[in-house]
Amino acid sequence: MNKTLKILVINGPNLNMLGIREPDIYGRKTYKDLVAFIQEAAKKLNIEVDVRQSNHEGVIIDWIQEALGKFDGIVINPAAYTHTSIGIMDALKAVALPAVEVHISDISTREDFRHISYASKACIATIAGHGFDGYRMALEKCKEVLATTP
């Protein structure tokens, strides 16, 4: 595939508080550090990224819908909406772009309510518990899947 892939990276609620919010779980690096990490990882993979963050479910749904025809895939960390938003799941299913769910922490080892992921039902993969590196892995997974898609 010679075309530069365009991936929309969406981060959900409270990720803008990285470095402040529960540093024992999420670390001391900031959201600005995360964006820089994603941009550098994308550059190395020859992927164009648009990195966004919102605390509002409807905004996230709008971004997913607007991705259709503009992006090749989506990397999404729905954050708390992972466990509650059928709307985000439905939007991901509607646009049918390859999407990879990512989480900084390992949600499967946290509170029981965090074990449920609606978003995962519309994603090709879920990567959790690898910190910022999970975003690089998610970009790689999108690239791998898109390379085999006609």
CB 37 within 8 A of CB 132: yes
Nearest to 51, CA basis, from 12, 92, 90, 106? 12
Is residue 103 annotated as a catalytic residue, yes or no? yes
Q: CATH number, domain at 74?
A: 3.40.50.9100
Nearest to 76, CA basis, from 88, 62, 86? 88
Q: How many domains does the chain have?
A: 1
pLDDT in single tens digits along all 150 residues of the chain: 468 999 999 999 999 998 877 777 677 789 999 999 999 999 999 999 999 999 999 999 999 999 999 999 999 999 989 988 999 999 999 999 999 999 998 777 666 766 678 898 999 999 999 999 999 999 999 999 999 876
Q: Look at residue 106 in the predicted model and tell me its pLDDT.
A: 77
Q: What is the pTM of this model?
A: 0.91
Please tell me which residue in 26, 81, 118, 135 is annotated as part of the active site: 26
Q: Look at residue 75 in the predicted model and tell me its pLDDT.
A: 98
Q: Look at residue 1 in the predicted model and tell me its pLDDT.
A: 44
Q: Look at residue 13 in the predicted model and tell me its pLDDT.
A: 95
Range of the domain at 119: 5-147
Please tell me which residue in 31, 103, 118, 135 is annotated as part of the active site: 103
Q: Look at residue 3 in the predicted model and tell me its pLDDT.
A: 81
As a whole number of angstroms, the distance between CA 98 and CA 146 comes to 8
Q: How far is CA 86 from CA 62, 71, 102, 145, in A?
A: 14, 22, 17, 24
